[in-house]
Structure 1
Amino acid sequence: MVEDESLRQKLVPAVERASIILDMVAVSKRYPTVSDLARETALPKSTVHGLCTTLVQLGLLIRRPDQTFVLGPHLLKWSNAFERQTDIAAEFAALWDQSEEIADSVVSLCILDETDVVFIASRQANALERFTVRPGMRLPAAFCAAGKAIMARWPEHEIHRVFKTRFPEALTERSVGGVPELLEEIRQIRADGSAVDVGQCQRGVTNFSAAVVNSLNRPVAAVLISVDSEELPEEASEALSANVHALASRLSLRLGAEAAG
């Protein structure tokens, strides 16, 4: 607590106040005025007016014709720069190095490329003979839990559009059979918060996945845990679902996403 107070004393007041105003505009359910911001910050209106005028001049706020405020375009430059400077694979590796190993599993980082999941990094606690992961490996997104986890963040019309001309050929007898069946799984994933495919990509392998989101809350990747079994006890499945969700959440935080409420 003393350390926090010491840090607070070193902050430049004007910069801190400007940051608070930007945060308030970002989360406001309606466009705030100077009076609204002054009331919420307990600052004099003259102070808030001066801060807002400066932020408008810097492109960090836009003053609307009715004298309310919205976030300005300069913030997008910072957001884009942050994403360019953040290497998601490096962040995944750093996160894994700080984590306890998940026994008898392969933990992978995947991205979506059109209708395929592409593996870009992996860590193997113990090699799975049935499921060997290598960078650049592709699997149909419709069957792989990683693809389903990402698509669960899409509107359903986008899923219809992507698979409008062609649905992938089944990899196993358990592979989802078409868009209607896929959408049923997607709706369950949204309810559960993580995705599972049981033998849809490889017989005898169960995959657990959760989406990784960026500072704009957009899915950019998915963490995938693969285990060598289709007949997992319920408690083991629950633990793996919780683990993959925790890993994806921690990686999302490293990419600038806000902590879940």
Structure 2
Amino acid sequence: MKNLSVPAIDKTVKILNLLTETAVPLSGADIAKTLNLPRSSVHGILQCLTDAGLLRKADDRHFVLGAHVLYWANGFTAQQDIVAEFHQAITQIPELNAYTLTLSTLNHDQVVYLACRNSQAPLEVTFRIGMQLPAAFTATGKAVLSHMSDEEVAALITTFPAPYTDNSVRNLPELMQELVQIRRQGFALDNGQLRLGMFCFGIAFTDLGGQYYGVAASLSEQEADEAARTRLLAGLRRLADKLSAA
């Protein structure tokens, strides 16, 4: 069946995505210019979103996300038993206590973070629930992609993201080479592809319904010696097994 597109809804989604990604107040003119949309259309949509509580005015001209967005987010999270299982399981795996831990899944070519526990150790990234990052650069994203065929990956990543660092994989053929290695070794590594100096190890698993998720542990490059990697990966595999069984 051919996908149906409703122009007003498409514009609304683009506006909400833009305000989420920028995380700063934007005026109607800013939004129209950034998204290349008619100002009259943007003005009408902004008014409707504000009336619905999805946006609020930061001042007379600028808009930010409204509280009703949290209502939807909490509703989504409440349906994800895997989130509760994640928080319970990580308390039972002491070898992971020192690390930042995340649970995520794919949203098209992005990874969306469903749960996180940031460690006390300083990292260049603070993970947040709802954060989205390119799957091609993340440990959990690569781990999940490794369970797809090359054709499925190519169909998913139609426009390759711009690199975040000098270590970021540069194109689809390079990513495909990484996925071959990930399938062989059973885990994925972000070796500074999101932030230089930060290493993330990721493992993918499925729930009982066959939905793929990824768990990852993040640490500084200096901490990632062989002993730490061995301990960390053993803990991640235990975590993935617990979540898959649950």
Same amino acid, percent of matched pairs: 36
**Deviation for aligned residue 1:107:** 0.5
Deviation sequence 1:160-218 (CA, Å, 0-9, x none): 11123x100000000001111111111111111111110001111000010121225x3
1-side partners of 2:79 and 2:127: how far apart? 27
**Deviation for aligned residue 1:237:** 1.9
Asked if the contact 2:143/2:182 (under 8 Å) is kept, the reply is yes
Q: Structure 1 stretches of 5 or more lacking a match?
A: 1-83, 255-261
Q: Could you tell me which of 83, 89, 112 is aligned with 2:83?
A: 89
Q: Could you tell me which of 212, 220, 233 is aligned with 2:212?
A: 220
Q: Is 2:134 aligned against 1:134? A: no
2-side partners of 1:125 and 1:231: how far apart? 13
Q: Which has the larger radius of gyration?
A: 1
Q: Structure 2 stretches of 5 or more lacking a match?
A: 1-77
Q: How many residues align?
A: 169
1-side partners of 2:167 and 2:148: how far apart? 24
Q: State the partner residue of 2:4.
A: none
1-side partners of 2:141 and 2:130: how far apart? 15
The one-letter code matched in structure 2 to 1:197 is D
1-side partners of 2:80 and 2:174: how far apart? 36
Per the alignment, do residues 207 and 91 of structure 1 end up closer, same or farther by CA in structure 2, a change over 3 Å counting? same
The one-letter code matched in structure 2 to 1:140 is P
Q: State the partner residue of 1:162.
A: 156
Asked if the contact 2:198/2:221 (under 8 Å) is kept, the reply is yes
**TM-score, reference length from structure 1:** 0.60
Q: Is 2:133 aligned against 1:151? A: no
Q: Is 2:198 aligned against 1:180? A: no
**TM-score, reference length from structure 2:** 0.64
Asked if the contact 2:137/2:168 (under 8 Å) is kept, the reply is yes
2-side partners of 1:146 and 1:111: how far apart? 8
Q: State the partner residue of 1:190.
A: 183
Deviation sequence 1:95-140 (CA, Å, 0-9, x none): 1233325243201111110111111111234243422111111111
Q: Could you tell me which of 241, 245, 250 is aligned with 2:233?
A: 241
Q: State the partner residue of 1:38.
A: none
Q: State the partner residue of 1:17.
A: none
CA RMSD of aligned residues (A): 2.0
Q: Could you tell me which of 203, 217, 223 is aligned with 2:196?
A: 203
2-side partners of 1:179 and 1:222: how far apart? 21
1-side partners of 2:229 and 2:152: how far apart? 29
2-side partners of 1:209 and 1:175: how far apart? 16
Asked if the contact 1:108/1:224 (under 8 Å) is kept, the reply is yes
Per the alignment, do residues 188 and 215 of structure 1 end up closer, same or farther by CA in structure 2, a change over 3 Å counting? same
Asked if the contact 2:95/2:232 (under 8 Å) is kept, the reply is no
Spell out structure 1 runs of 4+ moving beyond 4 A: none
SS of 2:160's partner is coil
**Deviation for aligned residue 1:234:** 2.3
The one-letter code matched in structure 2 to 1:213 is T
1-side partners of 2:116 and 2:225: how far apart? 25
